[in-house]
Every structure is written in C-alpha cells, then in structure tokens.
Amino acid sequence: MKIAISGKGGVGKTSVAAGLATRLARGGRSVLAIDADPDANLAHVLGVPPEVEMVPIAAMSELIEERVGPEGGMYRLNPLVDDLPGALAVEVEGVRLMVMGGPPRGGSRCMCRENSLLRTLLEHILTGSEEAVVVDMEAGVEHLGRATARGVDALLVVVDRNPLTSETARRIQRLARDIGLDRLYLVLNRLRDAEDLDLVTRRTPGIPLLGQIPYVEEIEHGMRSPLQDGSFTAAIDEIIRPLCGVTGA
C-alpha cells in the first residue's frame, strides 16, 4: 500500500498523513512515512520528541556529495539510494519517518543535486518498498508537474468546505491524469454538517469521496493532537477500510 496525501496548504493533509501512518502501524503493518513537503511538519504531528533531531535529507551535504557528486561539477542523475531508508529513518509511534527537506534559505543556490537525490529516493521507495508507505506531499500542485507521486497506489486529496480547496483538488485531478495517476480520491476534512458534504461533492464532480473527518474544535485550535482524538482516529480507520480494497492491500 503506497499512498500520497495532497491538497491545498492548511487543509489538514499532514494530520491525515499522520493518522493513516499511525493507524496502519497499529493494525500490524510495517509503515514508512515520508515528509516530502519542504515546509515539514509531519514529525511534529507524529509526536517526535523535541530532543530528537530530524535532519532533512536535503541538508545532508556530505551524503549528497557522496551519492550525487560535488557542487559545481558533473552529478549523477540516478544516485544509489536503496540503503537510505534503513539508515536514516527515525521510529515514532511504530512508524519509521523520513524527512526530505527543501531549500536551506531564501534565494539559495540551485538545488539540482538535492532534487536528484530526493526524486530518486522517493521513486525507489514507491516502486521497491514492501512496506506500507504514506507520503505527505508538498502542498499545491507542483509535485504533480515533477511526477514524483507517479508510483503510488492511490492519491488522496484533502479538502474542506473552503471553495479554494476544491479548486486545488480539480487542478490536482487534471495533472494526475496527465501522468497516468487515475486512483484519485477525496478526503473531506472538518466536516460540520450535511451542507458541507453537499458543497464539496458539487464542487468536485468526478472525484470519488473516500472518507470524512469531523470538525473538532480542540484540534482546530491546537488544543489536542488529532492522533489523541477518538473521533479523528475512528474516521481514519473508516478511510483505511475502503483504501485496502482500492490498493489491493
């Protein structure tokens, strides 16, 4: 089972990714979670202790030079990556977590070497891993332009009642089709009532609704972790059941 989570920034995709990873692990699966969003927050939601330093792979300059080549010189387009998940992942809540990372600072140099390593690593995991893999993708649609999610079994697009999230979902749908990714499903987050459900389904025709997560005020205002809320975890479990059928897992 290899699942990518996408959606507009702020819609709750990282919470959904964390929920899927932890509930799959609770169900007995070996789970690898990948934070592929440059604005990485998956470690925080999963509950990685503050004293555990999660160094993004994009910041490992020695590793990048070893595998890809020196800055300013010729670099390998397909670097060796098969040993990296075992060497670099940190375990939390029964989930092995890797953080990809992004540019170190504004206006920084081209990240061609870093992107080559990260793209190859993600493609390797999505085509070769025997684990359940949950990928928290970059917010928006750029990752589909790079086709980094091509190897997943299903792409979940998180939306809520905000019409802009549905607009992003429609864009993701079009771009996913362009790369041959046709297993695309909605997850409706922050569901308050039947009106929310009606609004979203009318705005996103042609994208099947896989699951619904209720609005919880304590989660919305940061007073409770979604992973500690019974209604949230129950909703995630209801998403996993049809997802197993979709992916054949």
Instruction: Tell me if residue 115 falls in helix, strand or coil.
Output: helix
Calpha distance 235→212 (Å, rounded): 7
pLDDT, average across residues 25-41: 91
pLDDT at 65: 85
In tens, the pLDDT along 111-161 reads 577 777 777 888 788 777 778 999 998 887 666 655 566 778 899 999 999
pLDDT, average across residues 63-70: 84
20 neighbors 134 (Cβ within 8 angstroms): yes
pLDDT, average across residues 90-104: 85
pLDDT at 145: 52
Q: Which two tokens stand for residue 97?
A: 């977590």
Query: 44 Cβ partners below 8 Å, 6+ apart?
Result: none
Percent of the chain with pLDDT over 70: 89
Parallel, antiparallel, or unpaired: how do β-strands 95-99 and 90-92 relate? antiparallel
pLDDT, the chain, mean:
87
| pTM of this prediction exceeds 0.85 | yes
pLDDT at 61: 84
pLDDT at 199: 96
Among candidate residues 116, 165, 158, the one with its CA nearest the CA of residue 136: 158
Domains along the chain with CATH numbers: 2-247 (3.40.50.300)
Q: Which residues of 107-117 are buried (b: 16+ CB within 10 A; e: fewer)?
A: eeeebebbbbb
- Residue 202's Cβ-count burial label (10 Å; 0-12, 13-18, 19+) is exposed
Calpha distance 197→123 (Å, rounded): 35
Q: How far is CA 72 from the centre of its chain?
A: 31
Strand locations in 143-183, DSSP E? 154-159
pLDDT at 201: 95
In tens, the pLDDT along 195-240 reads 999 999 999 999 999 999 999 999 999 899 999 999 999 999 999 9
